[in-house]
Amino acid sequence: MSIVRVDGATQIDLKAIDPGDTGLFSDKAIAKELLKLERKRIVAVQQRLFAERAQSLLVILQATDTGGKDGTIRNVFQGINPQGCRVWSFGVPTEEELAHDALWRYHQHTPARGMIGIFNRSHYEEVLVVRVKGLVEEAVWNRRYDEINDFERLLARNGTRILKFYLHISKDEQKERLQARLDDPAKHWKFRVGDLDDRVRWDDYQAAFQDAINRCTTPEAPWFVVPANRKWYRNLVVAKTIADTLEDMNPEFPPEEPGLDKVVIPD
């Protein structure tokens, strides 16, 4: 598979990673069947994770506009027990959130033991949009890389496994997806004129994403760059990575109560 696990040993160059790459896969139908198998793996291990209540998983999704964060969540986590999963989307911070440190609003929504948490956008906005739009001074956002690494290290030390996915699409693919939203009245609710302003800053955002990935990949919280022009491939590799990680966490059902073999259910 052509998903790129960033190990921190070398600096990645997003321009060198083909957003249209599908690795050894060329058959969309086969990939969709494989996705079903990966979802079954996720569902099976999630049951043990929820019962064990000893560790948790945080999945972070970042991408440019139209990158496929919502679609990834819908397709990868289909069939999962909603009791054991929470999705949080982070938009423009509220007045209360702005009155606290930059990571305060994110820490409140990290997953409890036994849970899978999904961040649709995340604390990385504090070194992405604020940097590109100049919402804070460079000295402020520049120190946040270290703060983010410390934050993720804290979570990892307290039993949270962290997976960070950058859904990598091309500028041409983004244009097609924006046009599709504009052409379909049922998708107009997804279209913001402001997205076009962000598109003009494409190169600035790519530089910001690249720096965030290179400066904030650690053994505790690796980044994965996912070629995401082909949605079916994106879904499969994200699902497989999550399933592999959950199985590596190896949660176990709690021990049964003694004497269950002698219990008789009363009439």
Residues 144 and 126: their CA atoms lie apart, in Å, by 7
According to DSSP, the β-strands at 4-6 and 223-227 are antiparallel
pLDDT at 73: 98
Which residues on neighbouring strands pair with residue 224, listed in sequence order? Answer: 5, 165
Task: Give the rounded distance of the alpha carbon of 260 from its chain centre.
Answer: 41
> Is residue 150's pLDDT more than 70?
yes
Token pair 């910001």: residue: 208
With bands split at pLDDT 50, 70 and 90, how would you rate the model's confidence at 168? Answer: very high
First to last CA, the chain: 56
Residues 116 and 85: their CA atoms lie apart, in Å, by 5
Phi-psi category of 24—alpha, beta or left, where left has phi over 0 and alpha has psi -120 to 50? alpha
pLDDT at 10: 84
How many Cα atoms are found within 13 Å in the side-chain-facing hemisphere of 159? 14
According to DSSP, the β-strands at 116-120 and 85-89 are parallel
> Is residue 1's pLDDT more than 60?
no
Compute the average pLDDT of residues 15-34.
93
pLDDT at 256: 86
Domain ranges of the chain: 4-249
pLDDT at 245: 98
Phi-psi category of 259—alpha, beta or left, where left has phi over 0 and alpha has psi -120 to 50? left
Which residues on neighbouring strands pair with residue 60, listed in sequence order? Answer: 119, 164
Q: Taking all residues of the chain, what is their mean pLDDT, rounded to a whole number?
A: 95
CATH class of segment(s) 4-249:
alpha beta
pTM here?
Answer: 0.95
- pLDDT tens per residue across span 115-132: 999 999 999 999 999 999
What would you report as the CA-atom Rg of the chain, rounded to the nearest whole angstrom? 20
> Is residue 234's pLDDT more than 80?
yes
Which residues on neighbouring strands pair with residue 86, listed in sequence order? Answer: 117
> Is residue 137's pLDDT more than 70?
yes
Q: Which of 175, 226, 204 is nearest to 5 (CA)?
A: 226
pLDDT at 44: 96
How many Cα atoms are found within 13 Å in the side-chain-facing hemisphere of 218? 17
